[in-house]
Amino acid sequence: MNDYCKTALDYLSLAYDWERALFSFSSSVDEHGFVVNDFRMPVSLRYTINTYLGLAQAERHAGTTEWLGDVADAVGRFLDQHEQALTSSADQGLLLVLLAGTDPSHPAADRALDQIARTIASEGVTRLNMQDLAWMLWGTSSWSENGLSDRLFDLIRNHFVHEASGLPRHSISRYRAHTVSFGSVVYFLRAMYEYGEAFDSDRALELFTQGAERVVAIQAGDGGWPWMIDVRNGLPFDMYPIFTVHQDSMAMLFLFPADDCGIPNASAAIERSLRWNFGENELPAKMIHNDPYPWIYRSIERSERWPRLRRYVRGLGPAPTGQPSRGRAIRINPECRSYHLGWVLYAWSDPARAFPLEAALAGV
């Protein structure tokens, strides 16, 4: 296994609580130099599913992780304790992706499909957002649930995709109807790809290709991925925070298939994206450390009060015409989060994918 994935596994051993069968929501280092894990609920449930997804990939390619044991058994312990608390249909969607690769016979899969079906039937479209829909579509596509998948795809295509840019809205509520986060775009693209491949949907693959080309084009010169995008023209209006998880792993959820499909500049975008984490950013700062603990800082962010409110106000303006301005007062968020290292394992455990990672590291 490559060193980057070893760093991820070493951190996750610090973030895991065996008795709870949970990974932490976030980790920090206190004034005495000790790791402090926050198992805040319900987000620790989502992060744990995400992390098990990456650990399953690591197990598939490198064998059993000593401190965890068999991933299917660990997932079973998690579901024994927490399945009743999984009230989010988005989490059920990601759980379906996990179970498809670890334990297809687990009865939680049928219950997850039933919950998603009820959500589609009962929730008004204004109460759903793009990330939730994307995870549900990805999950049902993993199980070849054509009826549910078709309904989710049609809902996304008819209500969320902006005709001009081909990118999805975060939601169709008035104040978010022309904005979307980079994270939601990533999950949208991955869901389009998974659905398109599972059901041979030319329309879904076309949405994936067009969307991936547009997103690759807005990567900053230093490799950073902007956080907020205006769907009216597909241009970013706010760079910050720039999240390390986007740089080394989440972007790969669409860049790997984009590269496989021959989309121009996808390969170069992968290398630039990785190099950002290793110091080719605006500070410049190396975001990955192994001393005293294996660790990846969470982000570079503005040093400002009420950042969410300020982003909302920025999103109310006219459509942007170019790259957004960089912040004058920026800082590193030193937290480390388990789902990030889960996505690292999901992206990079396969040795066939290691070359761009090794090439990026060789130049640092």
Q: pLDDT 10s per residue in the chain (364 long)?
A: 788 999 999 999 999 999 999 999 999 999 999 999 999 999 999 999 999 999 999 999 999 999 999 999 999 999 999 999 999 999 999 999 999 999 999 999 999 999 999 999 987 777 899 999 999 999 999 998 889 999 999 999 999 999 999 999 998 877 677 899 999 999 999 999 999 999 999 999 999 999 999 999 999 999 999 999 999 999 999 999 999 999 999 999 999 999 999 999 999 999 999 999 999 999 999 999 999 999 999 999 988 665 665 555 555 566 666 676 666 789 999 999 999 999 999 999 999 887 777 766 665 5
CA 97 to chain CA centroid, Å, is 13
Through-space distance between the first and last CA atoms of the chain, rounded to whole angstroms: 20
Q: In whole angstroms, give the CA distance from residue 237 to residue 229.
A: 6
**Scanning the structure block, which residue is given the tokens 């060789």?**
362
Q: Which fold has domain 3-362?
A: Glycosyltransferase (1.50.10)
Structure tokens at 334: 């030193």
CA angle 337, 4, 260 (to 5 degrees): 100
Cis peptide before 168 (omega within 30 of 0): no
CA angle 264, 97, 130 (to 5 degrees): 65
Q: What is the pTM of this model?
A: 0.93
HEC sequence for 273-337: HHHHHCCCCCCCCCCEECCCCCEECCEEEECCCCHHHHHHHHHCCCCCCCCCCCCCCEEEECCEC
H-type alpha helices, the chain: 3-15, 43-62, 71-82, 89-102, 108-122, 130-142, 146-159, 182-199, 202-217, 244-245, 252-260, 266-277, 307-315, 338-348, 354-362
| Residue pair 113/97 in contact by the 8 Å Cβ criterion | no
Q: At what angle do helices 43-62 and 338-348 cross, to 10 degrees?
A: 30
Q: In whole angstroms, give the CA distance from residue 125 to residue 127.
A: 5
Helix H or strand E segment including 27: strand 26-29
